[in-house]
Amino acid sequence: MSFVEYGDTIKDGDTAIVFLGHESMFPVKVQHGTVTQTKYGVIRHSTDLIGKKYGSKVTCSKGGWVFILHPTPELWTMNLPHRTQILYSTDISVITMMLELKPGSIVCESGTGSGSLSHALIRTVAPTGHLYTVEFHQQRAEKAREEFREHGVEHLVTVTNQDVCKNGFGVSNIADAVFLDIPSPWEAIGHAKSALKAEGGRICSFSPCIEQVQRTCLAMEEHGFTEINTLEILLRVYNVRTISLQIPDLGKAAEDNSSTGFDSSNPSNRGSPSTNLQQGTVQFKSGMPLREMVGHTGYLTFATKS
């Protein structure tokens, strides 16, 4: 199993996603002799998982069932253990595009955190690219190395435990792109410039506060970066549902309608617009925004090395 190479069959040691529903799923490490408890009952790894195909429908001990999915960066972002606040797919997709990443790209990242963005970057630059990721916190760096090894992508990533603001990324003049997600990104702009290739490399900085953005933009200008711009990505979700609206009283038009002999009890008329003349309402499908939405996550500042 690898996050960048698809496999058909579930094997011992794989990380799999147990899918109970669109709002309910979790990761599990497949191991011989292990069981996993769900609200539908027990899943026995030896008999229910190992040797089965990814995507299989597995019946639990209580008679309920779940699907076992192959892990992807998108599913991992939704289910990973949080060691820090993470980036989600909305921001990740824009970062990947605006940094102009592709297979073979060399990327530097700081900090690694919970590895949400890291997995997406690795999948994007595979099979010939590489990710150099720097994490200040030693335990988080060690945990990230362990996860990358379990997920079969350790050959595509190098994890370094150091302070990027003082010591940089450990590479020079090779990176196609640099990503910063640290409290004081303006202190690392010089090291980012040194890590980027001679000309045309892209940089992105993620910051939750506009004051951080202001200082970062000033530092980018001082180091000769061009095309500096800041984006804020907001996700608005809609529910598609059936709603009812009253039919307006159009006076004479309504009388003309009745004079035409329209009979709502006639089966041939029931398939016409979903109207109920007795109640004076019409029903139709509509997209309604949620009353609450995920608002500000952070500002994304992009620039190009001149």
d(CA 195, CA 295): 33
d(CA 82, CA 89): 15
236 and 206 Cβ atoms separated by less than 8 Å: no
Helix (H, G, I), strand (E, B) or coil at 126: coil
List the binding residues.
114-117, 135, 163, 181
CA torsion sign for 19, 24, 29, 30 is negative
Residue 209: C-alpha distances to residues 15, 190, 225, 282, 295 (Å): 36, 21, 21, 47, 14
d(CA 141, CA 173): 24
Q: Model confidence over 1-35: pLDDT tens digits? A: 789 988 899 999 999 999 998 789 999 999 999 99
Longest dimension (CA), the chain: 85
All domains in the chain, ordered by first residue: 9-71 (3.10.330.20), 75-234+295-305 (3.40.50.150)
d(CA 147, CA 154): 9
List the binding residues for S-adenosyl-L-methionine.
114-117, 135, 163, 181
pTM of the entire predicted model: 0.84
Alpha carbon 277 to chain centroid distance?
47
Lowest mean pLDDT among 68-77, 135-144, 166-175, 267-276: 267-276
Lowest mean pLDDT among 85-99, 134-148, 247-261: 247-261
CA neighbor of 2 nearest in space, from 155, 206, 187, 190? 155
Q: Model confidence over 103-140: pLDDT tens digits? A: 999 999 999 999 999 999 999 999 999 999 999 999 99
